[in-house]
Structure 1
Amino acid sequence: MASVYSEEYQRVITALKKARKERGITQVQLAEALGRPQSFIAKIESGERRLDVVEFVHLARLVGLEPGDILQGIR
C-alpha cells in the first residue's frame, strides 16, 4: 500500500489543493461543505491524514474536478 508520502498520493493531494485554491475555496468552506471541521482539510493537505476513496470523490467534485481525471495521473 502506498503511503501518504508516495509520489502518486502527493500528486492527488496537490491536484485537490491546487483546484481548491484556484477556485478561491478556503479550507473552512470546503470543510463546511463536507460537514467536517477545518482541521480535517488541513490534515489531509499536510499528509497527516489519509483520504479514503469516498472522501476523495466528494473532495474532488467539491473543488470542480472529476475523480477519474485525477486518477489518470497516477497510472
Structure 2
Amino acid sequence: MRKWVSSEAHRAAVQLLREQRELKGLSLRAVSERLGKKHHTYLHKIETGERSLDLIDFVAIARAVGVDERALFDELLRRLPAQIDV
C-alpha cells in the first residue's frame, strides 16, 4: 500500500475538490464538520495525498462543499489524462 497517493489522475480529482472548497470560502475544518468528522485531518490528508480519495469520498466532499457532484465529476473527466495509471 502506498503511503502517498501521487498519480496524475488522483491529483486532478483532489485539486478539483480543493478548488471548489476554496471558491466557496470554506476551510478544511468547515468541510470536515459538514462531513461529520471530528478533526480536519481527514480532509487534510486527502488534499495532501497522504490518504486516497475514492468515489464515495468524492461525492461526499462535493456535497459538503455545496457543489453538484455530477457536474464536478464531468469536470474531472475533462481534466483526466488520456492514460490513467492504476
TM over 0.5: yes
Aligned residue for 1:10, secondary structure, equals helix
Instruction: Write the deviation string for residues 8-33 of structure 1: whole angstroms up to 9, x where unpaired.
Output: 11010000001101100110010001
Q: Higher Cα Rg: structure 1 or 2?
A: 2
Give unmatched runs, 5+ long, in structure 1: none
Structure with bigger helix share is: 1
Give unmatched runs, 5+ long, in structure 2: none
Map 1:28-67 → 2, pairs under 5 A: 28-36=29-37, 37-63=39-65, 64-66=67-69, 67=72
TM-score, length-normalised on structure 2?
0.74
Q: In the TM superposition, what is the alpha-carbon distance from 1:48 to its structure 2 partner?
A: 0.5
RMSD, aligned α-carbons:
1.7
In the TM superposition, structure 1's runs of 4+ consecutive aligned residues that sit over 3 Å from their partners are none
